[in-house]
Structure 1
Amino acid sequence: MSFTPVTHTCQYNEEEGSMRMFLRGRPVVLYGPSDLDGLDPGKVAPPPQNKLKLEWVYGYRGKDCRNNLYLLPTGEIVYFVAAVVVMLNVEEQCQRHYTGHTDDVKCLAIHPNKLIVASGQCAGHDRIDARPHVRVWNSVSLATLAVLGGSQIERGVAALSFSRADGGSLLATVDDAPDHTISVWDWQRPDKHCLADTKCSVDTVVAVEFHPLDRNQIVTCGKNHIAFWTLDQTNMLYKRMGVFESRDKPKYVTCLGFNPNGDVLSGDSNGNIIVWGRGTNTILKMVRGVHEGSIFTLCCLKDGSVLSGGGKDGRVVMFDSEMNATGMENVIEGHYGGVRVVAEGRGSQIYIGTTKNCILHGDLQLGFTPAVLGHVDELWGLATHPTLPQFVTAGWDRLLQLWDGLSHSTVWSKDIEERAQCCAWSSDGSVVAVGALSGRWLVFEPTSRDLLASHHDGNEPIQTIQYSPDNKYVALGSRDNFIYIYQVDDNCSRYSRLGKCLGHSSYITHLDWSEDSQYIRSNSGDYELLYWNATTCRQITNPTSMRDVVWATNHCPITFTTIGVWPEGADGPDINSCTKSHDGRLVATGDDFGKVKLFAYPVTQPKSLCHAYGGHSSHVTCVRFLPDDSRLLSTGGLDTAIAQWIVD
């Protein structure tokens, strides 16, 4: 055999028309179609003419972040999910995006002029461009005005605040490192000068706020403490701890606010609100038992009244400017989570960010409806409808959600009581199948949401599930190394097992059906590509006999037509998902580095150029095209975000 070595850990055998690709040093031999003209493995394939443009991001990060929802003068609400800061006009249903970050955005602050935004990110993983830092930017033009702390912030930015008494010339940050350093920046200076920094607390710090009336006063709070800081004329920071005296000291001081005369308000984990006299570190007034459990937010309205939000009881309670209860309150529905943040809207409107990654809008009298829904745990399942611009997602939060890609809305959300790993539409779009971590798999009718069938195969997660093009079979790839094949009857409501395919030496990661529904190909965790006769469940051990089979999809990343999606020196698990457009011109991949990549199909050149896109802050777990190829969907695992890209 005469192998021609090339640089991209691949060797091409011209006589056989095969490519030997090495993944983690393990050879994988891939056979091209028999009519393949001589492939030049040294040639570099150009990127596709098409590009992606971020159109919409579904989701919100309220699960573990605070103070991250504000109304802008444009009528948009600003919040973040993954590495994207989103500006959403709820009434007009349009989004804009600030995409300057490279990893998880963790905090947000609005300048007194309401136009400038500061957003802080955490450190990335194994990426040079992902130092933790703060970005200050214009919410109208989306131009970046300043980048702060790239060499000084260790782990991430825990909290941010613009000064208010002097028109926003200063910016305070708290580092998420063990010592929780507080820094004050003159962010408008060309050198982005850090005026002062000092160790803040060994305990967790959850909020920092400049006093609205005193430029040199800053308040921080967190575990076991509230601290009152003074920035003196020599730019030194001095701290006085809040004195709780004989009163019950809370485990956490969870949020801050200010009443019109400059007193500091704090909410805590005991459900109490404390009023601290302006300029002092002593308690002026305590309102006990406002909420059951922690108070996560205090929103001081323009008219001087105050709204408090309960993280456990889901109540929003209104007080007057003297912290007397007004009797006005509302409770959000439990399935949305607890109240994480409350933001003042226009008129009597308020926006509520929740602990289950939802944003609600409405008022205390009429109640609240969702403006943004999301997943709240690791997200792997994504499947697009075969003919409509709709898609389903399924995650470890036990939620199965149907979305409309044109209206950018949630059609419905269902608790399926199983942690989901994958999902698929039947070929006619009549049912949705969901594979779970328990080895159970479920089939639902998408209009009624009724459960039509439930089966259990093995005790390991169902990693992938696909219906055959003729809708007569469904194949399930499991983490137990087997592929289970079922016959489908009665309009996809009855399933009878044909058998299981044995032969893989590691867990199944991806599979494809042939266009004639006769064959299956599959990839596994140890980078194998195997072929199967679907009706007999037998392995086809001669891969050359399969070289001219036409495949309905290209979800397997280890194939001859996707050689070039693998970067040089790639590790097998680097690429989590792969998909071919329905017109056969494009391939998209999602990888472990938060990137969505777009290639020209077929990607048979070992050296293939692509367009790469950020936005996700975690491994991209799945990518799929809508049926008309006008848009691409991508899901982020730990970031729980769903990104919708226009294919230009």
Structure 2
Amino acid sequence: MSFTPITHTCQYNEEDGTVRMFIRGRPVILYAPSDHDNLDLSKVAPPPHNKLKLEWVYGYRGKDCRNNLYLLPTGEIVYFVAAVVVLFNVDEQCQRHYTGHTDDVKCLAVHPNKLIIATGQCAGHDRLDARPHVRVWNSVSLATLAVVGAGSLERAAAGVAFSRADGGALLACVDDGPDHVISVWEWQRGDKGHCLAETKCSVDTVVAVEFHPLDRNQIVTCGKGHIAFWTLDASNVLYKRMGIFETRDKPKYVTCLAFNHNGDVISGDSNGNLIVWGRGTNTVHKLVRGVHEGAVFSLCGLKDGGLVSGGGKDGRLVLFDADLSATGTENVIEGHYGGVRVVTEGRGRQLFVGTTRNCILHGDLQLGFVPAVLGHVDEVWGLAAHPSLPQFASAGWDRLLQLWDALSHSTVWSKDIEERAQCCAWARDGGALAVGCVSGRWLVYHPQTRELLAQHQDGTEPIQTIEYSPNNRLVAIGSRDNFIYVYQVDDDGARYSRLGKCLGHSSFITHLDWSEDSQYIRSNSGDYEVLFWNATTCRQAPSGAALRDVPWASAHCPLAFSCVGVWPEGADGTDINSCTRTQDGRLAATGDDFGKVKLYAYPVTQPKSLCAAYGGHSSHVTCVRFLPDDTRLLSAGGHDAALLQWLVD
């Protein structure tokens, strides 16, 4: 055999029409269709004519972030999830997005003019953008005004705040590094700002930072076991006074801050207490015990001088008057939404509530609350577009199976399936929805009634992938135990009988595709094998050469001749988590380990293929799927637990 080396990762053999691709030194043999012209591997395939535009972001980060929900004068609420800051008008049901960040956004602050926003992120994937920093931007134009702290922050911007008594000239930032350094910036000096002062804040976790609304150069921070009162003096040195609890029980955490009209500081803590600290002092002025069972996660000062406290464990919202006396008005968030993470004032008596289970609710204390934003709370690996409707299903490690409408951007339903989900798939007629679980079980639900139609157990390893055959008579189950289980489908997707299992892979199954005639399956595995199977006999095809001209109903296997070009030179075989193509066969998309969604012209047969790459996710992109009419692409995130919907332009 004569291979012509073109790149260090690919060789082409004209005699038998194969591409030998090397991944981590292992050869992968891929067979070109017999009618395919000889490849010139030196050619560079152009990027697609189409572009992706971020249309909608499903989700919110309330699980582990604080003070990250505000109402703007435009009527939009501003919050973040993954690497995207979302501006969402709940009444008009429209979103805008600030996409300047390269990794997880961790904190957010609104300027006193209610126009300018500061958002801070953690270290990123890309070498050039790996440094944590704070971005200051205009919420109307979405233009970036300054990038602050790149090079001086160590891990992440854990908290950020604008000064309030001087009209927002200063910006305070707390680093998430070991010393939790606090820095104060003149953010308008140049495009990188000017650091006025910085000092070690605390060896313990810091959860909040706020400038005093009345006293210029006064800053308050709080966190594990402490509250600290800072003064920035005329020589730009930060001085700290620790809050003195005296004989009172020192809380494990001081969790949140607010200010009353007198300028007193109000803190909530992990004991469920509220403490008033006299203006200009570091001593307790007033203590209100046992407001919540568990920690107080949020305090919201109201325009009329009142205060609303939110409980992270008990889910209660309690209204106080200006003297911090309970008014008797309160409400409880339904448990399945989680506890209260943040409360912010809306218009009139309306409140917006971010929760610990990544939901945003809106309503008032008298009438109660309804969801404005729902999301997942843990890694999302299952994503499946409906075969004919503009709907999609998502399933994650949070045990939630959710059905979404892509046109109204709303949740059709959400169901706790009591199992960590790894994948999901629609029957080809849309009459059943299958979910593969981490335990080796797979479940089938009726998409309208949510009734459990069938359940089966195949091994004890996670079910990595599920695919129904194009004729809807078979379903293939790819497991982490190296086997593919094939079932016959009867009674409109309600009854399943096992035909057999495909034995031959020496590593776990990662991806599956069916042939258009439902006769064959191709599969990829964790050790970069590409194997082919007769679906009804579960026998392995002796050679991929015999099936080189078989048309495939999908392109979910990234190790395939039609997807050679999605692999960058020197790629690790785990870099690409998901691959898909449009129904019309013109575009392919991938989701990778670096938070990128990439769009290619399909087929991607040139090893050197240019693509358009899109950020927004902040961790590995676990799955990408096109809607059946090819107008939109959906992507699911791992650690960021976000679902992004892209318009195909």
TM value normalised by structure 1: 1.00
Structure 1 position 220 matched with structure 2 position 221: yes
Q: Does 1:97 align with 2:97?
A: yes
Displacement after TM superposition at 1:125 (Å): 3.8
Q: Is the 8 A contact 2:310 2:340 kept in 1?
A: yes
- Note the C-alpha offset of 1:126: 5.9
- Structure 1 partner of 2:399: 398
1:350–1:620 distance in 2 versus 1, CA, 3 Å: same
Deviation at 1:38, TM superposition (A): 1.4
* Partner-residue secondary structure (3-state), 1:572: coil
For the 8 Å contact 1:83–1:104, the answer to whether it is kept is yes
Q: Are 1:378 and 2:379 matched, yes or no? A: yes
2:168 counterpart of 1:168 = yes
Corresponding residue SS for 1:382: strand
Q: Distance in 2 between matches of 1:186 and 1:201?
A: 23
Partner of 1:517 in structure 2? 518
SS of structure 2 residue aligned to 1:119? strand
Residues of 1 paired with 2:127 and 2:387: CA distance? 37
Q: Secondary structure at the match of 1:254?
A: strand
Q: CA deviation at 1:8?
A: 5.1
Match of 2:621 in 1: 620
Matching residue of 1:586? 587
Cα distance, 1:17 vs. partner? 1.0
Using the TM superposition, give the Cα deviation of residue 299 of structure 1 relative to its aligned residue in structure 2, in angstroms. Answer: 0.2
Contact 1:295 1:308 in 2 (8 A): yes
Q: Distance in 2 between matches of 1:542 and 1:334?
A: 55
Alpha-carbon distance in 2 for matches of 1:595, 1:577: 11
The residue correspondences of 1:38-77 to structure 2 (distance < 5 A) are 38-77=38-77
Q: Deviations over 1:147-202 (max 9, x none)?
A: 00101000001101100000000000000000000000000112511000000000
Offset of residue 127 of structure 1: 3.0
Q: CA deviation at 1:129?
A: 1.2
The alignment partner of 1:599 has SS state of strand
Contact 2:102 2:125 in 1 (8 A): no
Q: CA shift at 1:337, angstroms?
A: 0.1
Partner of 1:424: 425
Distance 1:265 1:470 in 2: 64
Q: Structure 1 counterpart of 2:491, which letter?
A: D
Match of 1:536 in 2: 537
Separation of aligned partners in 2, 1:131 and 1:413:
37
User: What is the aligned partner in structure 1 of residue 145 from structure 2?
Assistant: 145
Is the counterpart of residue 208 in structure 1 residue 198 in structure 2?
no
Deviation at residue 216 of structure 1 after TM alignment: 1.1
1:413 Cα offset (Å): 0.2
Q: Separation in 1 of the partners of 2:211 and 2:126?
A: 34
Contact 1:8 1:607 in 2 (8 A): no
Show the 5 A alignment for 1:48-447: 48-125=48-125, 127-190=127-190, 192-447=193-448
TM-score (norm 2): 0.99
Superposition pairs for residues 494-573 of structure 1, below 5 Å? 494-573=495-574
User: Which ranges of structure 1 fall in alignment gaps of 5 or more residues?
Assistant: none
Deviation for aligned residue 1:89: 0.4
Separation in structure 2 between the aligned mates of residue 262 and residue 82 of structure 1, nearest angstrom: 35
Q: Deviations over 1:509-554 (max 9, x none)?
A: 0000000000000000000100000000000011110000000000
Question: Structure 2 counterpart of 1:146, which letter?
Answer: A
- Structure 1 letter corresponding to 2:460: N
- CA deviations on 1:487-522 (whole Å, 9 max, x unpaired) are 000111000000000000000000000000000000
- Equivalent residue letter for 1:373: L
**Alpha-carbon deviation of 1:591?**
0.2
> Mean Cα displacement is larger for which, 3-12 or 438-447?
3-12
Letter in 1 for 2:636: T
CA distance in 1, matches of 2:48, 2:128: 27
Question: How far apart in 1 are the matches of 2:142 and 2:549?
Answer: 50
Q: Deviations over 1:234-276 (max 9, x none)?
A: 0000000000000011000000000011000000000000000
Residue 610 of structure 1 pairs with residue 618 of structure 2: no
Q: Distance in 2 between matches of 1:248 and 1:544?
A: 75
Q: Structure 2 counterpart of 1:545, which letter?
A: A
Letter in 2 for 1:317: V
2:493 match: secondary structure: coil
SS of corresponding position for 2:366: coil
Between the two proteins, what is the percent identity of the paired residues? 79
Native 8 Å contact 1:562 1:603 kept in 2:
yes
Q: CA deviation at 1:130?
A: 2.2
Q: Which moved more, 1:563-572 or 1:118-127?
A: 118-127
- 2:317 match: secondary structure: strand
C-alpha distance in 2, partners of 1:538/1:135? Answer: 56
Q: Is the 8 A contact 1:476 1:484 kept in 2?
A: yes
Structure 1 stretches of 4+ moved >6 Å: none
Deviation track 1:550-596 (CA, whole Å, cap 9, x = no partner) reads 00000000000000000000000000000010000000000000000
Deviates more, 1:253-262 or 1:34-43: 34-43
Q: 1:298 is aligned with what amino acid?
A: L
Name the amino acid aligned to 2:145: L
Q: Secondary structure at the match of 2:562?
A: helix
Counterparts of residues 481-500 of structure 1 (less than 5 Å): 481-500=482-501
Alpha-carbon displacement from aligned partner over 1:212-241 (angstroms, at most 9, x marks no partner): 001110000000000000000000000000
CA distance in 1 between partners of 2:168 and 2:211 (Å): 10
8 Å Cα contact 2:578-2:591 kept in structure 1: yes
Residue matched to 1:450: 451
Query: Which residue identity lines up with residue 135 of structure 1 in the other structure?
Result: R
CA contact (8 A) 1:479 1:508 kept: yes
Distance 1:126 1:77 in 2: 29
Unaligned runs of 5+ in 2: none
Pairwise CA RMSD: 0.6
1:608 Cα deviation after fit? 0.2
CA distance in 1, matches of 2:49, 2:461: 41
Task: Please say if residues 157 and 174 of structure 2, whose CA atoms lie closer than 8 Å, have aligned partners that are also in contact.
Answer: yes
- The aligned amino acid for 2:22 is F
Question: Deviation string for 1:389-426 (max 9, x for gaps)?
Answer: 00000000000000000000000000000000000000
CA distance in 2, matches of 1:107, 1:96: 18
Is the counterpart of residue 9 in structure 1 residue 9 in structure 2? Answer: yes
What is the aligned residue count?
A: 648
Counterpart secondary structure, 2:574: helix
Measured in 2, the distance between the counterparts of 1:607 and 1:186 equals 46
Alpha carbons 1:8, 1:606 under 8 Å: kept: no
